[in-house]
Amino acid sequence: MDIAKEVDARGLNCPLPILKAKKALSELHSGELLKVLCTDVGSVRDFQAFAKQTGNALVDQQAVGDEFVHVLRRR
């Protein structure tokens, strides 16, 4: 995957990871990928809901140890 931008939201709780992702997505061009690193367990469902509400595609979600990696494609 060709990640255009990465956001480190580790240690932050809802809604901060979503807000940081929203800001970063606004700086990307359509089709570019954003990777968000989180430690908040709730971020899994938060990013699923965020993708549905905004029309940005949730390309990948993974749990890596105690971290969660979300990849979004800008609409």
| Residue range 10-51, pLDDT digits in tens | 999 999 999 999 999 999 999 999 999 999 999 999 999 999
| Residue 51: predicted pLDDT | 98
DSSP for 10-33 reads: TT--TTHHHHHHHHHHHTSPTT-E
Is residue 62 very low, low, confident or very high in pLDDT (cuts 50, 70, 90)?
Answer: very high
3-state secondary structure of 65: coil
Region label for 12, one of left (φ > 0), alpha (ψ between -120 and 50) or beta (otherwise):
beta
Is 38 catalytic? The answer is no
Which member of 5, 10, 12, 14 is catalytic?
Answer: 14
Is residue 1 very low, low, confident or very high in pLDDT (cuts 50, 70, 90)?
Answer: confident
Burial of 72: CB neighbours in 10 Å, binned 0-12, 13-18, 19+: buried
